[in-house]
Amino acid sequence: MKNIFLSFLLFLNFLAFAQNPLMIPPTLSGTNINLNLQYGTHQFFPGQITQTMGANGDILGPTLILNQGDFVNFSVNNQLNDDTTIHWHGMHVSAINDGGPHTVIAAGTTWTPAFTILDKAATYWYHPHLHTRTDLHVSKGIAGLIIVKDQEEAALDLPRTYGVDDIPLVIQTKSFDSNNQIVNHSNSDTVVMANATIDPYIDLPAQVVRFRILNGSSQRVFNLGLSNNENFYLITTDGGLLNAPLQTTRLQMAPGERAEILIDLSGRVNQTLSLKSYASELPNGIYGATAPGMNASMPLNGYNPNPLNGNDFDILQINVVAPTTNPVTSIPNTLASLNPIPEADANTTRTLTFSPASPGFNQLNGEFRINNTSFDMNVINYTIPLDNVEIWELRNQSAIAHPFHIHDVQFYILDRNGNPPPATEQGRKDVVLVKPQETVRFITKFETFADDAVPYMYHCHMLTHEDGGMMGQFVVHSSNAINDETVFKGKVYPNPSSGNIHIEAKEAFSKIQILDLTGRPVFEKNFNSVNQIEIKYDKPGMYVMEIYSGTTKYLKKLIIR
Ligand code: C2O
Ligand code: CU
Ligand code: CU
């Protein structure tokens, strides 16, 4: 009798409490980052083996911690039996380093991009981007967070102890077949997970804690909130800190979007709360709502029945435990100073209209197009002058919301149907959810990098739509392209040197790059116009140093011993 009572209690426990500790991805930091893309297995369901893909492990990938200003060498080794790519979503890098569908890492080969981290402190992510197979590789498990740090963020009193009070959170839904294997291009994503953990819990200290959240789902939009509708504080949008923490009870997140939030758990030891998606509040016309299309009678194959659609569900249970020794105990008053681009600065406006390839009753299943065209690897849709300031007007003439993403830049949303965006979207962004029949305008500037050969992508971040061709590409073109390669007449000394190199020039210069003899950049530093500088690069070898002054690039042979 006692035993039965006990099992009944355990059963109640099972119903009321999440079972699995939240997995915290390991970190990689520094200026040499190695990623191995590999196959693996993972137990999503006890005793069941699921075939997966991951970076440096069975599923997901390590969190990369990068410092603004560092020149980082990456090595991405593709150990899969399939081609893929790795894209640094949200980061401002040259097209050749961006890892879009043209920069294929063939099966069994290694890709070695190298670039300076120019981004602001925020949470970014990396994922495969091979055309038509992005969802396959992401759904099977390859995705990782990137934390960029900078001095502005470091000066703030924010939680930043990874895994303790600064928690990475990759929220995803996945579809499984009857053998517990992951299915891609599916609308039957019934299983919700955080960091590849189903029914997760985490013990968090009774103080201010930070979450770095990515919606890494292939299609689903979340409407985040806490279980008792308490307030939390949004501190970053996709690409940077807000001016000040924004108090809110809800945060809608579409695929590809990131947000950092603070929750104040001070004085709450032994309490339990949960992070939920209040999907019942999502209006129809959003993947995740009761009806995925605006017209509730339009079908989407596989969408129903699914207990996640239009119903509230838990994502993560939080158990509050004793505070740490140096807790953050208050929410800062201010964070950063954003400089949105004034609308009057725009040189060009482009209109992009989203529509179904086959209109009518069945249109949610169809492919979707941008300006009536499907993605073509061989067509450049836009050529954008370097430093152009542009307004992109996104018109959704379909019945489902599309999360639009653009590479290379961060943007500011100007308006939604003519009205200012909600406060949660008034920061640096690289994804925006455009609702059915809505027009969204954003403003951005295409700076720093020009390349006539390698394009950047823009696309819907619902991976089924993206793989189906809801994508386009642009190149950034520089008319005064830096191609006068002139021998440098200033001084570079000592040369040969042992690593401390002085550079003196008559004309001010703004960038130094060092290339090895295969033409691969091994060092890069940007300045605000200087006439002399000392740099340190001490790996022995023969190199070419490039000194950029205005539109001229000077070359100098360099020997390090
Ligand atoms: Cu997150 Cu084009 O990608
Ligand atoms: Cu991207
Ligand atoms: Cu879409």
Question: What pLDDT is stored for residue 4 in this prediction?
Answer: 47
Residue 386 is assigned to a structural domain of this protein: yes
440/495 same-domain check: no
Ligand 1 atom closest to Cα of residue 90:
1
H helices of 301-373, in order, are none
Total domains in the chain come to: 2
440/496 same-domain check: no
**At 511, is the secondary structure helix, strand, or coil?**
strand
Q: Is the peptide bond between 305 and the residue preceding it cis, with omega within 30 degrees of 0?
A: yes
Classify residue 492 by burial, with Cβ atoms within 10 Å: 0-12, 13-18, 19+. Answer: buried
Please tell me the distance between residue 32's alpha carbon and the centre of ligand 3 in angstroms.
Answer: 35
Range of the domain at 458: 343-477
Question: What pLDDT is stored for residue 7 in this prediction?
Answer: 47
Residue 216 is assigned to a structural domain of this protein: no
488/473 same-domain check: no
393/418 same-domain check: yes
Ligand 1 atom closest to Cα of residue 471:
2
Question: What pLDDT is stored for residue 380 in this prediction?
Answer: 98
Residue with the smallest CA separation from ligand 1 atom 1 is: 89
Please tell me the distance between residue 296's alpha carbon and the centre of ligand 3 in angstroms.
Answer: 17
Residue 292 is assigned to a structural domain of this protein: no
* Nearest CA-CA partner of 411 in 440, 435, 383: 440
469/499 same-domain check: no
Alpha-carbon span 368 to 359, nearest angstrom: 10
Alpha-carbon span 378 to 386, nearest angstrom: 21
- 456 CB-side CA count, 13 A: 27
Contact status, residue 62 vs residue 68, Cβ threshold 8 Å: no
411 pairs with which residues across the strands?
Answer: 429
Ligand 1 atom closest to Cα of residue 407:
2
Question: What pLDDT is stored for residue 15 in this prediction?
Answer: 46
Residue 470 is assigned to a structural domain of this protein: yes
Please tell me the distance between residue 87's alpha carbon and the centre of ligand 3 in angstroms.
Answer: 19
Contact status, residue 97 vs residue 114, Cβ threshold 8 Å: yes
Question: What pLDDT is stored for residue 390 in this prediction?
Answer: 98
CATH code: domain of residue 429: 2.60.40.420
Low pLDDT (below 70) residues in the chain: 1-18, 480-485, 518
Alpha-carbon span 489 to 493, nearest angstrom: 12
Q: Is the peptide bond between 359 and the residue preceding it cis, with omega within 30 degrees of 0?
A: no
Please tell me the distance between residue 527's alpha carbon and the centre of ligand 1 in angstroms.
Answer: 29
Q: Residues whose CB is under 5 A from ligand 3 (ion)?
A: 402, 460, 462, 465
Phi, psi of 469 (to 5 degrees): 110, 10
Q: Which amino acid is at 480?
A: N
Question: What pLDDT is stored for residue 3 in this prediction?
Answer: 45
507/410 same-domain check: no
Ligand 1 atom closest to Cα of residue 89:
1
Single residue among 477, 500, 535 that ends a domain in this structure:
477
What is the per-residue pLDDT across 458-485, written as a single tens digit (0 to 9) for each? 999 999 999 999 999 999 999 765 544 5
458/545 same-domain check: no
CB atoms under 10 Å from CB of 351, counted, come to 12
What angle (nearest 5°) sits at the alpha carbon of residue 407, between those of residues 406 and 413? Answer: 40
Single residue among 432, 462, 477 that ends a domain in this structure:
477
What is the per-residue pLDDT across 372-417, written as a single tens digit (0 to 9) for each? 999 999 999 999 999 999 999 999 999 999 999 999 999 999 999 9
Single residue among 477, 505, 529 that ends a domain in this structure:
477
| Ligand lying closest to the C-alpha of residue 98 | 2
What is the length of the chain? 561
Alpha-carbon span 196 to 182, nearest angstrom: 12
In the structure, which protein residues have their CB atom closer than 6 angstroms to any atom of ligand 1?
A: 87, 89, 127, 129, 256, 405, 407, 457, 459, 461
What is the per-residue pLDDT across 220-265, written as a single tens digit (0 to 9) for each? 999 999 999 999 999 999 999 999 999 999 999 999 999 999 999 9
Please tell me the distance between residue 406's alpha carbon and the centre of ligand 3 in angstroms.
Answer: 13
